[in-house]
Every structure is written in structure tokens, then in C-alpha cells.
Chains A and B, each alone.
Chain A
Amino acid sequence: MMASNYNAKEEDGHQPAAIGHGGAETVKNKKPDNTAFKQQRLPAWQPILTAGTVLPAFFVIGLIFIPIGIGLFVTSNNIKELEIDYTGVDMSSPCYNCSQSYSWNSTKPCTCSVPFSLDQPFESNVFMYYGLSNFYQNHRRYVKSRDDSQLNGDKASLKSPSKECEPYRTSDGKPIAPCGAIANSLFNDTLELYYIDPNGSRTAIPLVKKGIAWWTDKHVKFRNPSGNDNNLTVVFQGTSKPVNWRKSVYELDPSDPDNNGFINEDFIVWMRTAALPTFRKLYRIIHKKPNMTPTLPLGQYILEVTYNYPVRSFEGRKRMILSTISWMGGKNPFLGIAYITVGSVCFFLGIVLLIIHHKYGNRNHSADIPS
């Protein structure tokens, strides 16, 4: 009877009334459910990684990575990049004077011209970056010294900025807009580019200052305080300019109200703190010309710098970078080399393993026979 009970339960999974042993206390069903989960018998895929399955993967990886790497390498090599350090550390450099005679409150801007030449023409759009070295934009005290709600146009934050902005929170009793160390140290050199015609005349190269910041930053994250849209001066009334700025935030680009105040793109770019102490930021774009002529033909150029930004005090460097851009971004041979290396290593390993496996498998096989 017991056995039949047991079988019945096996089949339908619930316990029929126990007939053979009818104590009142045995009614409770203690038999575990026979479900796949509870019995740890869930259907399972049991991959066994053997040399047979992994070895082809090595070859496949190698075969895929090497072409990609070559592609990347070639692409990176085709990108043209020109870097000019205009810090003025050397006596010989044109900006030496500016870098020496620096003071925050000088009213007369110091300018210097750095001549350079292009050996190759720059095709397509050319991007102009400024680069800083030994500038710790990623220092914690610096990174947190901003008030995003102020930058987002919040009126309350405009008038009383976040405590994180200390010591760049107020000046002369008035709240600073935009507050904080990042905003305060906005890069304020002006860079201009001139092409020297073979006949000696200077042609200014048109530099576009829009399209350098992330779209979402420009349109969502950064917003001028609402109110009198046309007159930012009124909006920012009662606030003070950052201590190291020469002009107020509403004077950043008076010519274009869409690029003024908090939504000035130079400002937005600066506010995205760099990851490493040596960094570059997008400054201007030189759009390609509609005709077939290169954007920057080879020849002589002059970089006109309005030297405002002091970096010597912390052993910093300033650079101007001209670069074309490909689908993988700026010039960076790292990816290409890495892909080629990894691909080759995989391929090589595949071969080595194949040999080892072949030999080892044979030996193993022969060893098995006597046993």
C-alpha cells in the first residue's frame, strides 16, 4: 500500500490522503515537489570549452582583428595633425614676452604671432584645438567646484550659488555667475589663424565657433536664466563676474545671443572637465570649402595669440592643435597598434596551441593504450 501511494504521488505531484497510516498529524505533505527547479534538474546548456572549440576562435579573432587594426592604423596615419606650443618658455619663442609680463589686471592685452608652415594641405573640415598640460582639471576640489543648477538657469541658484563653489562663490558680497573654480579659470586666450599668401598678404581663415560643444549640453544642460531673453544684462543683474574674468558672462559673445551667457560654447566646452592633466579642447572649426581646394593649403601661416592665460606658474604648457578628423575621431595610433598586436598574438597563440594540442593529444592517446 505504501508503495502504491508513493507511486501515485510521483505521478500527480500531490499527496492523496494517506490511507495506510492515518494519524491525524501525517496529513501534512512533506514530500518535496518534483519540479525541475527544486531538484536542480533544470534543462541546462553545458558548454565544454575544449581546444577544439577555442582554437578556431583564436584564428577567427586574429583574422578579424588584424584587418580592423590595419584599417585603424591607416586611418589614424591619414589624419593630419599639427601641434604648436605657444607657451613661450624659451627666450626665442615669440610669446616669451607675453608669458613673462603677465598680470591679471593689465588692461592692455598682450599679443604675439607664431609663424608656422604646413607641409601638406589639410583636406575636409579642420578642427582647431587648444591644449593645456599639467593643468589638473580633474582635481577633486576643482571638479566639484561648480553649480549645475545655476548653469541650468535656475534663478535661486543664480542668486545663491552652491557651497561647492567656494571660494569662488561670492565676490564683493555679490554671487558670482557662473560660480566655481572651473568657470573662473575659463580659457581666455584668443587664437586667430592667418594664411600668408606666397605674395606676402595675410588672409584671415574663417573660424567657426559653433558646433564645438555637445548638442545636449548646449541645448539642455546649460541654459541662461529665463526672463528677459533678449537682454542678458538684466538677467544677470545682481551677480558678479568671476574674479579672473575680464568681462561678464553676458559679454562672452555679444554678437550672437544664441552663444552668449551660459550657453556660450567656449564656456560649455571648458566646463566639461578633462580626464587627464594633459588635455585638448575643441576651439574652432574650419569648414571645408565648397570647391575642390583644400581647407588649409600648404604654405605659411601665422597664429595670432592674444595671450591672457597664465600657465607658467604651475609649469603648464599651452598648445594649438590643428587636426582633421576621421570616423574614429582624432589622430590616435594606439587603437590600430593594439588591434594589430592582439590580432597577431591571437593568431600566433592559435598556431602554437594547435601544435601543442596536436602533439599532446597524440602522446595522451598513446599513453592510454597500455592501461
Chain B
Amino acid sequence: MEEYPDELRNPPVALISLVGCPEHHPAISSYLHSQQHPINVLALPDFSKVPVVLAKKVKDSGSEDPPGGILKRDWLLKHRTKIPALVAVLFSSLDVSGGPTQWLQVCSDLENLKAAIRPRNVKLVVVVVLQSSSAELHADGNNEDRMIALKKRAEVDSKYLLMYTPNDVSELKQSLDRLGNVFSELASAHYREEGRRIRTKVEKRGYNFPELHMRYCFKVAIYAEFRRDWNEALKFYEEAYRILRQMVGTKTRLPPIQRIVEINSVAEQLQFKISTLLLHGGKVLDAVQWFCQHNVAYRRLVRVTEAPYLHWEWMSRQFLVFAELLETSSATMQSISSFVVGGTDGTLTEWEFRPAYYYQLAATYLKKKQSSLEISLSMTDNSSEVDSSIDSVVPSTYVGQFARLLEQGDELSMQPLSDEQYVQYTLAEGKRFQDSYEIIALLKRAYESYSSLKAQRMGSTCGLEIAKEYFFLNNYVNTKQVCDDIITLYRQEGWVALIWEVLGYLRECSRKLGAVKSFIEYSLEMAALPVLPDTSITFLGFMESGPAGLPSLQQREHIQKEVMELFGKDSRDGLSAEKSTDLRLTEENPLNLEIDLVSPLRTVMLASVAFHEQMIKPSVSTLITLSLLSQLPLSIQIDKIDLQFNQPQCNFSIINKERYTSTTMISSVQKSQRMEKASSLVLTTNRWLRLTFEIKSEQSGKLECVSIIVKLGPHFSIICRAESPASMDDLPLWKFEDRVETFPTKDPTLALTGQKATQIEEPEPHVDLALVATGPALVGESFIVPVTISAKGHDVYSGELKINLVDVRGDGLFSPRETEASFLDGHHVELLGIAGAEQEGKSQGSYSNINRIQQSFGLVSIPNIKNGETWSCELEIKWHQPKPIMLFVSLGYSSQEKDSTSQKINIHKSLQIEGKIAVTINHRIMLPFRRDPLLLSMVKPFNDADQLVSLPLGESNVLIVSASNCTEIPIWVESLSIETDFISASSSCCIKPGSGPESTGSTLLVAEEEYKKVFTVKPEVDSAPLSLGIVCLRWRRDPGHHEPSTIVTTKHRLPHVNVEVPTLIVSSECPPYAVLGDPLTYFVKIQNQTPLLQELKVLLSDSQSFLMSGTHSGTVFVLPKSDHVLSYKVIPLSSGTQQLPKYSLTSSRYSAGFQPSSAASTIFVFPSKPLFKGANDRGKNLESVATI
């Protein structure tokens, strides 16, 4: 597009001319330029220039002569830059209103101007530049006359006589606006008139030649463009184009080749104009369709048989220009798909709206031009003659025509060219340009455009074309780079023919660049491509397959042979000198080709390794099968195969008995390795070479085959990654071929399940690890689990014992929620320590290694144990919560003393241990026998469920603490005591052990037995709540036959109590026993502790067993802080345990009733007076009976 002249590329802009008063020209020009529809200004400083500019050539020839060409080259430029649509003449107001001389000058200038512009029909505008203020002008009557005179002289309408006031800022803007409006109106009128004038010519058929018809149409269109009437412009451009098409066959005075060149050039201009107008009008669809028609119409127009390259060049330019137009307009274009959906009837596709498509075709045509130019150049033999005759050829006055410029003295004259001269001229021009770079540039634009559209395949095709051009230019580095980029896609999608072509270029580039490795890689890949003999029919027509040649089996074989020769070659070998190539493999420069799982060279060599067993014992041999597959067309002789494992001591080599020993020395390093010999190692096409060998390993763990190194020739080897047959991917490319597929191993199950790795088991441990637990563990005690390690078979060195405690239920020993709820500071079960039987310094040190943070884990090192010896230790585990746990103990050791690298032998044991609560502690608080205080809190109980127990102040209460064994294990209770909280309890409460006999030593508690102890509690301060203290039970497990176990303290916190002042205390007194028939007195004592008078109702019920005297019912008043005693005399009537007559008291103040419990009102009646041994014992025993 850049090669087109400016006037063609940009839409025409109206041109006006300013004459006179040159000092005002810049201001007016810049204003007109900045308008929305700008106007160009031709500023002429003085009047003498006007006739020169507007001079019209007198047509020297009559209308009978045919025109020299279709379009004049400079016509458009002339109208854009030279011939104005109107002339605005500027007169100073001083001149207009000045003296007669000045006025005469004005008049004569005006006359001259009118004469000059008349033949061109140029409009005239008179502008009077006001030098002073406008008021002055109007005030002067003389001026008005002058103005009228001026208007008459100029023969202009009054509205075209304008005032211009440059001095006043506000007026300036207005007058400039006025000027702009008038100018654009008049310019547009001028172009309309001119257009109409020529249009009439067209309509009246006022022409004799189609050239003129076409030219007129073109002019009408240009005039329409001047006034931005795009539709009319388009209509006339299309008309011109149509007429041009009809002119193709007609004869003119031009020789045929130049005639077609001229038509093509004009058509190109018209096409450019039409496309531009359509695209800028947003009619993308129409533009594309128009271009298609244009393309179809002119594509077949290869009339220039002598110079076909001219046609191709022209075609290429068409596409390039359209692509550029499309690209510039596509920025403003809406989405392309809408066009495709919107308007096509199936004839246009998506790509025809993309610039990339046109760039690509432009490149294609340019390529054609290049090749046909080469042919033409090769046919012209005498190049020197060509050069001399065409050196003065220049473009002539008509578009698309050329002529020789001859100097005849001072004059220059154009001499028409003959076709031969013209062809020579174009050939010489063609030679000057390097088309390849242009082609590459076009293709790159197409490539980038396609890439942005994610059209990889189209892009790849462009890439390949780029590569071909680079190859043509002998730029092998770039060729290789581009080819490497595009081949990936072809490989991925398996387009063999395309891969073949690209590989051909790559191979050739590598050869040219002397890159041995890539040359071999590409050659091998080519040779292994699935180009099969029976599919070669498809490829029969290949001629342009580039350096790769025809894809065929023969070619593959040829390529393979070429590479194999390279393998066999040695630097000392004389063969290499023959070939011009400097590719060689030498001892200093050996080549290792690596083939991994994604390499395209997997087709060249595929190595599958299968162990016959998935699990083997150490030092027991198993079988391993190595299978190699190649798709190379010719069979290969392998010199040596190395198998490499992750355990280097297992590596071994397979050598070809025939070739290897004779040709190469076995190096000393290799001697130490295992060598296997195979009678023949020949790899034929698509047949597995299967080799099975024994293998064994001492080291336990994974044994994996890592890579296979196949040595071909002295300096070349292929390193294949080993693959498991079970998880082997299909061969790339070959997987689409219909070929015989065989299993890599003979055994089909192994082929489906075989793995390249096997697991070597650990050596058998000859050690006993014993864990013993004696019954369930008790919460709180340090539970001892003895661990015994006895070596039975070999010694134990550098052993390590790992201990793990795991919750049986699996929710962890340290569930955070539970931990928070119960123990804020620790675990439910923790490993306290490990106590060794015979503690050495080393193992002693390791105890401290037991991390308190990892309370469920322990690690301890074991001293060396000789065969037959035993070592043991004890694990000390403490339960905080009753929980079953699993104890895992694992011992890792080695059986050799010094070999630290040797395999560790592991042995694991586990034991489930229940954790149980040993004792449960209960307590009960009672009042003294037959003494009942009335506590107000008891009268009005709160709803609160966990209301504290209330104790009366100053009374001796009885506290019974009982501990019961809830396991099956007998335990010894050492002591039971209450520890009071030091600060609160010491002064506020007095707790003493009961007055019963103090038990000495420990008491054995068997299962479900209870141990009880009585305390008296006497609150001394009225403070609520009162802490009673903590019950401490010290006990130990019954050791049985073992040594005595440690003492455990179980603590139980007693609940808080309320201390309250009792209001009334009712106590009943009677003898400890009665004798049948013996009267006894029974007292009920009421103590009023309050400072109030208390009224109590007393009710006594009869008892059948007693004869009673005293009031049955009544009301007593107890004075404040005093006692009242009720006494009854009763006589027992029957013996045995008898109920005394029951009394009940009701306090009217507190509305609280009181009735003694039946236990409190029971008395034993002896039939006769009993005889007790020893007076001392009597009282004691009876008391104890009464208290319990």
C-alpha cells in the first residue's frame, strides 16, 4: 500500500486559493485545516501568480485521435494541490476605501483575476480585511458605496463579499467561521458543477473511445469524493471498473503486453479505491465479495506469456494491499463472525475476512512471480544488452505506461517502448529486488496473524513456507529454528507426510551446519517414520517434497544406511575422506543419543524391561526380560547393551559375541561388572529382541531398571529410558498404523503386568521381640511393660527401638477437644520413660532423648547384643484417662557390625493394653445421730439441681469417705486422708478423723470391695461456700510374686458446702438399749438458737410395743436462745428392735415440720437384762454399734 501515491491513498480534500494580503494567510489556513472537514489552502501572495497556476493547456489534438492512455498520472495530484475550487481574494479595507489610485489598483487586480479563473470555472470570493474597527466602516458612507461597487466589479453575490476582522478577538472567530462556511459551500458547489459537467458528457456519450468514458467516470468519482459523496463515488468507480473490463479485448496503439499492464494498473487503482470506500463505510462483506470478484476476473488474465512474472507480481500486490486495508479497518470492525453469519450464502468463509489469508496468498503469488522470473531470466542470455537499453525507462504520463526518456539537446522527449524493450526493462527491475525477503515478511505477517487467531495449522503451513524461503537463501540456522517449531504440531497429530517433509529440511540443515547429533536424530526419526510400502501409492505424486525426497521405503532405507555408515566410521577410516560432508564421530567426540518417554525417537529404539517377579527375597535370583523394538527399516547389529539399575551393583552388560570381542577391548572398569554374552544381537524391523537373564540383589528395597545403553559402532550409543510393559505408551505415529503388534515378552501376562521395578524383601530377622503386659493398666499408676529382645541367630548391632502409642479407636490420644475438657496439660496416656535392665551410659543418655512433647513416641538405642543374649527394658506408661491403647514397638538393627550401609532389619510388635480406673471414691455427709438442726435453706429449697449441701455451723458433722476397687486386680490401700486447702479450711472448718480405731498398715482390697473412713467435720465460720478439701487415697497394686510396686495417690476433691446457722436443733435422747418391762425416759430437746420466740406444735403417735406416758399433742413456746425439753416415760412391751413412739414437730414460724427418721427412733429391747463381759468393753461396743 505504501507504494501508492499519497493522493490515491488518502481521500481528496477540497482546495482553495487565497490571493492578496499575505500576512493573513497563515491564520486562515490553519483555521481551515483544523475544521471537521478540512480544506487545503493554496496561498498566493500576489496576483501575478494566479494566471500561472490556473493556466489551462490548450488541447493540441482533435477529438478524433485516440487518447494516449486511460488515466493521466498527475491528474489527481493536480486537482488536489494545484487547481483550487475557489479563489478568495483579500483586499485591505484601506485600499478599498482609499484614494482613486488604490481603488483603481483593486479594480484591475480583480479584472485580471476574473479573466484567469473563468476558463476553469473557479469560484470567486471577495474578502475585505478590515484594518480598523467595524464601527468605523459603518460610519463612513463612502465605504458603503465602494463596497457595492466592489461587489459589482467582482460579479459576486452579496453573500460572497465577506468582511474579515483580524484585530478584534471576538470578531475574528466569527469572521473565520463565516469564511469557513462560505468556502466549504462554494468549494462543494464547484466540485458538484465540475462533476455534473463531466457526468453530462458521460450520459450524452460525448466520447469516441472507451478510454475517455472510463476516464470521465473516474473523474466524476473523484469529484464526488471531493465533496464526500461516497455513494456516488463508489457508483462511478464501479462503472469505471466495468468499462475497464470491457476494454481488455480492444486494441490500441500500445503493444499488447504494455496494454495489459496498463489495464492492470488502472484496475488496481480502481480496486483500491473501491475497497477503501467499502471498508471505511463498514461494508466489510461487500468489500470481501468485491475483492473475490476482482480476483476471479483478473486471475485468469495471464495474457503476458512472455512475462508471466508481471502478472504474478500484480496478483501478489492485490492481495497484499487488500490484506493491509482489511487489517487497518479490522481494528474498528465488529466481530468477524457476525459478518459470516449475517450475509453469506455459503460462498464466503471465516478466513476470507482475515488479513492473514490475504497475506498468505500474496506470498504465494510472490513466490510464483519469483520462480517465473527466474525462468525468464535464465532464458535471456545477453544480460549486458538488457542493461544498456533500458536504463532510461521512466513511467510516462499515463498510469501504467512506461517510456524512454530521450535527451535531444535541451529538450526531453518520451519515446514509446516496444514490448521487447519493456520486458527487458521489467527483467532488469526484477533482478534488482530480492523477492525472498519480501516473501518471508509476508509469510511472517500471515503467521503472526494466524497465531493470534489460534489457527496453529495454518500458521504451521506459513512457517514451513518461511523455512523453505530461508532454505532457498541458504540461511540454515533460521530454517532449522522455524522447522523445529512447526514439527511439534505435526508429530502430535501424526501427519507423516508433513513430518517427512519438515524432517527433510531439518536433516539437510543439520548436514549443512555440521551438527552431527541433530543430523543423526533427524535421520533416524525419518528412517523410522511409518511410511509403508503399501501406502506409497498415496505419495506417488510427490515432486516438491524438498530435500527429503519421496517418502518411500527405499528412501528410508537409504537414509538409514547413510546414518549407519556414520556409526561405523572412524576418524582413522579412509572412507570419510570421500564424502564431502564433515560429519563424523570420533573417539574424542562420541555421541550418546538419549531417548526418553516423550522423545520422537522412541520409534527408533524402544526398551521395555520386565522383572518376572514383583517381590523377591534378597540374594535370591529372579529373571529379568529386556525387550528392544525398532521401526527402522533395516536390521541393526548391536555391539553391546548395558543395563543400569538404581542399585549400581546390579548393573550388567550384554555383549555381542561375534562383534564385540573382536573389535573392542574391554576396559578395566567394565571387567569388574557382570558380563553376559549373547550369540547374536540383531534388531529387525517391528520385532522384539527379547533377552532374559538372571538377576539378584542383596539390598532390600526397590530395584528398578533405569536405562538401557545400546552401543552401535565404536562411538555411538543410544541411551533409552527403561519402560514397564504394563504401563508402556503406544509408539507415536505407529499407533495409527495397521501393523502387527506383538508383546514385548513371550509370556502375555507378563507383557500386561510386567514392571521395570521389583521389590526386594527385607532380610528375615533372627531376633525375638517380646512384649508382656500383666493385665489392664490402672489409671494413675506407672504401668510397666517389659520389652525383651533376644538374639537368636545373629548379633544385633546399632539397634534402635521405636515405641509408639496409638489410640485403638483411632481418634488419637490427644484429641484436642477431650484434652481441653479433661486435662489441660497433658495426654490421656503418656510414655513416661524407658528403664533398661542393664543400663549403659549410652542408653542412659538416650532416655533423656524422649521428648516430653512427643509423649506418645519414644526412641531408644539398643546396645549391641551377641547371638544368644538377651536385653530387656521396661516401658513406663501412665494413663490419665481410662482408654485402651495400642503399643507398637519396632526394632531396627543391622546384623553386621561394621557395615553401616547394610540393610536394616526391622521387626515389629504390638500389644493392646486397656486402661482402667482403679478406685472410685465416694463420700457422704451426715449429721450426728438423733440431732437434727433446722436449716432455713432446706425449708425453701432452690430449684437449682447442683445446690450445695448445707452444714450447720458449729455442729459436728459426720463425713464418710469410701473407696471401692472397681477392677479385678487386688490393690493395697496404704492410707486415706483429707488434705484441706491450707488457707480457707484451717480456720473455718475443723476436719478430724473419726474416733474409730486407727487402722494400722495397709488394707487389701479385692475386686468390688470398699474401704471406708469416717471424719468429723465441724464448720467454725459461717462462710459459704466452704471447701472441705481433697481426699487422698494412697494405694498400690498388689505385687503378687513381683517386687513391690510403687504407691499411687488418687485424689478426689470433695464438693463445696454451705455453712449455715441452724435456727432450731431438735435432738432426742434415750438410752442405748432397753430391757423388756423396764421403764425408760425418752427426751426430746428443742434448742432455739434464734433471738425470736418459737412456737412449735408437738404430735406424738402411739406405738404398739411401748406403753407411754406424756402429752400426745400440744404447742410449746421456746424462748429465744433457750432450750425446751419434752420428756416421755415409756415401757417396752416386746423385745427385739422396736420403734419408739414417733413424734413430730412443726414450727409455725417457718412452717417446717420435723419427724425423726425411723432409724433414729429405733431401739433394741432385750428380753432381760444382758450380761456383758467387762465393764470397759461394754460402753465402747455399744457406741460403735450406734454410730455405724
A and B together in one complex:
no
